[in-house]
């Protein structure tokens, strides 16, 4: 069991200190590496090829043919809010050796002024390996795993994800969520965690204020919404504000992807390029996924962020920033445009 409290949370990191590790980083990486001896992975993760595509957005393309051929066949879904089905594959059915450790917030050390709400009790939150990894130390966050919650993110799981990213000393840690019909392959609540040791465009890109705490991305092909967590924000209040948008997407059966990364607070000038002083949450409302894309290129959380996991050698050699941008725009443009005014209205009084 990994126990933590507010003193473990790290709000500022730097790309110039990429090798820095917190207590959490050490525990996760050592536990994950230990699992490799048990042949629990469907393949050994390695970067076959990668390239930083020329262009404004600096897309990072990584060839991973194993994920295209050896990954568990995804389940197809027809609604964002399908109920949990115990007959389908879920994470209570995996080999118990795939679990890394549980997480527990030690509320006894919290105070009234803590950023973390003092009424939380993380007794059934688990980290597990992803047996089909797409990045370094790719793991699954399984909030309240034994409760068998469906794949619809809730406030508890988003709060937990933010705490986990703040437990790391690395600017490279990333967390993402695919809803059903947005390339989630299992209807059991889970988020993805991995380390991507490359600076990315969306860590520091310009944002445009929409209303309240909600921003939108400026001049990027995947149109989406953005929220900024700063060091003086109260975590519980911040999560509630983000969920105004997420509840809307869930209630209207709109597929969505969520990506959480360390970034630069665009409101603070003269920040060194290598510093990361906030958390950015990107939320993309998108067209429903079709599994015909699964064989070569899947426009899910990583791809929307600019980390392109490509499963076919020929496709890897043929992609350019121009054709990738077209795919990302096609996935998000119409849905984003259709809900933009509604989301702006939702946040007018926040």
Q: Does the annotation mark 190 as catalytic?
A: yes
The DSSP bridge partners found for residue 115 are: none
Element (H, E) at 108: none
At residue 34's C-alpha, the angle toward residues 66 and 133, to 5°, is: 25
8 Å CB contact between 329 and 223: yes
* Catalytic residue selected from 138, 188, 190, 307: 190
Query: For the chain, what is the total number of helices (H) and then of strands (E)?
Result: 7, 16
| Sequential DSSP letters for 180-229 | TTTT---SS--EEEEE--S--GGGT--EEEEETTEEEESS-SS--EEEEE
Q: Considering only CA atoms, which of 216, 222, 201, 186 is closest in space to residue 332?
A: 222
8 Å CB contact between 192 and 250: no
- C-alpha–C-alpha distance, residues 43 and 30, integer Å: 18
To 10 degrees, the CA torsion angle through 155, 304, 131, 129?
A: -40
- List the catalytic residues: 190
């Amino acid at each position: 069991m990994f126990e933590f409290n507010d003193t473990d949370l790290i709000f500022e990191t730097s790309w110039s200190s990429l090798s820095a590790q917190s207590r959490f980083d050490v525990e996760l990486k050592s536990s994950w590496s230990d699992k490799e001896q048990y042949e629990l992975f469907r393949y050994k993760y390695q970067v076959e090829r990668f390239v930083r595509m020329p262009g404004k957005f600096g897309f990072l393309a990584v060839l991973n043919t194993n994920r295209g051929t050896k990954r568990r066949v995804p389940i197809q879904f027809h609604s964002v809010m399908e109920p949990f089905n115990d007959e389908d594959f879920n994470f209570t059915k995996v080999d118990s050796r795939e679990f890394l450790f549980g997480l527990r917030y030690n509320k006894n050390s919290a105070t009234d002024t803590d950023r973390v709400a003092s009424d939380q009790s993380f007794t059934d939150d688990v980290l597990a390996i992803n047996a089909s990894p797409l990045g370094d130390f790719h793991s699954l966050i399984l909030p309240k795993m034994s409760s068998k919650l469906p794949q619809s993110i809730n406030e508890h799981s988003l709060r937990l994800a933010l705490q986990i990213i703040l437990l790391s000393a690395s600017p490279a840690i990333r967390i993402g969520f695919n809803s059903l019909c947005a390339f989630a392959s299992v209807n059991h609540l889970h988020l993805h965690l991995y380390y991507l040791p490359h600076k990315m465009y969306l860590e520091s890109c310009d944002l445009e204020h929409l209303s309240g705490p909600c921003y939108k991305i400026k001049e990027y092909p995947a149109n989406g919404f953005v929220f900024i967590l700063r060091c003086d924000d109260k975590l519980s209040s911040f999560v509630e504000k983000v969920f105004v948008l997420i509840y809307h997407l869930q209630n209207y059966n709109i597929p969505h992807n969520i990506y959480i990364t360390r970034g630069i607070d665009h409101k603070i000038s003269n920040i060194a390029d290598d510093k990361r002083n906030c958390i950015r949450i990107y939320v993309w409302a998108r067209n429903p996924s079709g599994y015909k894309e699964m064989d070569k290129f899947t426009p899910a959380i990583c791809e929307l962020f600019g980390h392109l996991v490509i499963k076919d050698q020929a496709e890897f050699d043929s992609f350019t920033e121009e054709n990738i941008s077209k795919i990302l725009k096609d996935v998000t443009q119409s849905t984003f445009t259709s809900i933009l005014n509604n989301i702006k209205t939702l946040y007018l009084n926040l």
